[in-house]
Structure 1
Amino acid sequence: MTKVAIMTDSNSGISMEQAKEMGCFMLNMPIIIDQKTYIENEDIDTDFFYDSQSKDANVTSSQPSIASVMGMWDEILKEYDEIVYIPMTSALSGSCQSAIVFSEEYNGKVQVVDNHRISVTQMLSVQDALYLKDKGYDAKQIKEILEQEAYDASIYITVDTLKYLEKGGRITPSVALLGSMLKIKPVLTIQGEKLDTCAKARGMKSAFKTMIEHLKEDYETRFKEYAQKGELAVGLAYTQMSEEDVAKWAEKLHEEFPGLPLYKAPLTMSIGCHIGPGGLGTGLIRIHKE
């Protein structure tokens, strides 16, 4: 039987401890602050990251180096026959496409999955890959299944401040100023591809209500069949938020979707670069029932 390793990156929101418990490998992503490169889970934490943001440091995400990606593959292949690598969506970073190019040197032993996921949805793709591996699927088969199911997820995100959307050029300074004065919270969505605006709300509670309305519409339409078969989960993601607030939003999600398993994870620093602290994300994700 082929021995398959499952690998992902830290954009999944999976901690190093969780990765060890799950039995997957983790590539930690680089973050650049004032031209100095840090590595997630190694020499930077969220407190330092968001503190740097608040002090108007130049904070950006970056692709992992060729050496770090291929070096990890080489080490894994000393023990495993094949690798399924699940990086963050190609729509938000070039790291996935770069990995696909790198993998061509491995004669099919490394299968890079572009299933348009990030954060909780990416984490659940890793869980599905581990499940499929245990069922005896090889790396190519796992890649094909995950990519076929790529769009079986729906994500909505809102922000606590418009500052970083303005800084990233996603909104103009005048829109940011007016929005801040009126306490307007944009509701953004990721439907497999890039981050887009889908609604506006006054205040965080209203934004959360708007996200729930969109999720319920998705639940009753495109995800209804999966819900009936027990193949649907609800997710919660966030940037630098207190445990009390995370628990509060999780409880509200559980009340709205009581029959669904609930998964939580911090939004990655790569997303945090664009939305800042206090961001909140919700989503529905198809999962393999077992």
Structure 2
Amino acid sequence: MPIRIITDSASDIVSPQREEITVLPMTISFEDQHYQDGVNLTHQQFYEYLIEGDTLPITSQVSPGEFSEAFQRAVAAGETVVTVTLSKKLSGTWQSACLAAQDYPGQVYVVDSENATIGEMILVERAVELLDQGKSAEEIAGCLEKEKKAVRLIALLDTLEYLKRGGRISPATALVGGLLSVKPVVAVREGEVVVLGKARGSKNGNSLLVQEIEKTAGVDFHRPYRLGYTGLSDALLQKYIADSRQLWQDHTDALPVCTVGGTIGTHVGPGAIAVAFFTRD
């Protein structure tokens, strides 16, 4: 039986490379203007609006009705479904998918990625690998539930401004951080964003990011991995790639790079760089 893999646009999969993948858009609102992420709002347009605006946009989850329509189309086409969502601790999207899936027992399987952006993306890419191995939808979902524990998403932020705007840190903390050029390194752990450390300046920030990656069990280059950046330029990411060459140069000739969209970009702002990978067993 053919398999459909459905995810939300928080995975930042802009143009699916496989026809088996369906991306359902989150809604991003700039005051009274509402956009469908990846449909009528590109990542570049999002950052242009974000930089120009004075207030933070609002992101809205995919609704149960939107999931239900997607599930109905897939089942009607004779497909079984594996759905991978943004962490349930960061959004209600997982709950929406679960509510819609109740009408399709044994036909639709929902997996909480416990991650976001490129961390969610590589789990979707892993689902495709498992599909190509001939596994059923139920088997793929079971594998993802186990393997998602090995996914690591680590990021270096360029500014504290957007954390301040979102109320996640105080204006005083943001002011001091800006004056000292503090670059926080954050990660997603068990579905939540945590701060791993802080460095002064981009060079020290890159070094701290490399150190945090080295603390893991190591990158599994046999499963999907990805680098991402927020904003309109990948200059900071390219600098990081050059600084971290020892991590990857013996394993691959090139690193897959993509932009991080509005679901996460709203909270971290432009200039952030992120790395997502599976750790070695």
TM-score normalised by the chain length of structure 2: 0.90
Instruction: Label 1:96 to 1:259 Cα distance change in 2 as closer, same or farther (>3 A).
Output: farther
Q: Alignment partner of 1:137: what SS?
A: coil
Which residue of structure 2 lines up, in the alignment, with residue 7 of structure 1?
Answer: 6
What is the distance in 1 between the residues matched to 2:133 and 2:26?
A: 30
Please report how far the alpha carbon of residue 57 of structure 1 lies from its aligned counterpart in structure 2 after TM superposition: 3.0
Deviations 1:38-63 (A, max 9, x none): 10121112333223322213412111
Residue identity in the other structure for 1:107 = P
Quickly say closer, same or farther: Cα 1:58–1:13, change in 2 above 3 A.
Answer: closer
Distance 1:214 1:287, change over 3 A: closer
Name the amino acid aligned to 1:31: I
CA shift, 1:20, in A, is 4.3
What is the match of residue 33 of structure 2? 36
Among 65, 72, 75, the alignment partner of 2:73 is 75
2:48 counterpart residue number? 51
Shift of 1:202: 0.6
Unaligned runs of 5+ in 1: none
Identity %: 27
- Deviation at 1:153? 1.7
Question: Which residue identity does 1:216 align to in structure 2?
Answer: E
Cα displacement string for residues 239-260 of structure 1 (whole angstroms, at most 9, x for unaligned residues): 0142444433334344432234
1:140 and 2:133 matched: no
Look up the equivalent residue of 2:102 and give its one-letter code.
E
Distance 1:98 1:91, change over 3 A: same
Amino acid at match of 1:122: E
Equivalent residue for 2:270, pick from 255, 274, 277: 277
1:258–1:168 distance in 2 versus 1, CA, 3 Å:
same
Mean CA deviation greater in 66-75 or 236-245: 236-245
1:21-80 CA distances to partner (integer Å, 9 max, x unpaired)? 464111122111103321012111233322332221341211112332211221222223
Superposed CA RMSD in Å reads: 2.2
- Whether 2:249 is the aligned partner of 1:249: answer no
Q: How does 1:92-111 map to 2 (within 5 A)?
A: 92-111=90-109
SS of 1:235's partner is: strand
Letter in 1 for 2:243: K
Tell me the distance in 1 between the aligned counterparts of 2:115 and 2:5.
15
**1:26 pairs with 23, 26, 50, which one?**
23
Classify 1:231/1:80 alpha carbon distance in 2 versus 1 (closer, same or farther; 3 Å): same
Q: Give the direction of change, closer, same or farther, for the CA distance of 1:22–1:257 in structure 2 (3 Å limit).
A: farther
Distance change >3 Å, CA 88–CA 253, structure 1 → 2: farther
The CA distance in 2 between the partners of 1:143 and 1:186, in whole Å, is: 34
Q: Deviations over 1:153-194 (max 9, x none)?
A: 222212222111011222111101111111111111112321
269-278 vs 60-69, greater mean Cα deviation:
60-69
SS in 2 for 1:44: coil
User: CA separation of 1:87/1:233 partners in 2, compared to 1, >3 Å: closer, same or farther?
Assistant: closer
Conserved 8 A contact 1:9-1:26:
yes
1:129 corresponds in structure 2 to 127
Aligned partners of 2:160 and 2:178 also within 8 Å: yes
- What is the number of equivalent residue pairs in this alignment? 278
- Alpha carbons of 1:232 and 1:66: their partners in 2 closer, same or farther (altered >3 Å)? closer
Contact 1:153 1:191 in 2 (8 A): no
Displacement of 1:83: 0.4
Letter of the 1:124 counterpart: I
Q: 2-side partners of 1:21 and 1:61: how far apart?
A: 26
Amino acid of the structure 1 residue aligned with 2:78: Y
Q: String of CA shifts for 1:5-34, please: whole Å, max 9, x gaps.
A: 112222222122xx1446411112211110
In the aligned structure 2, how far is the partner of 1:263 from the partner of 1:122?
A: 15
User: What is the match of residue 117 of structure 1?
Assistant: 115
Q: How does 1:192-203 map to 2 (within 5 A)?
A: 192-203=190-201
Say if 1:211 and 1:282, in contact at 8 Å, map to a contact too: no
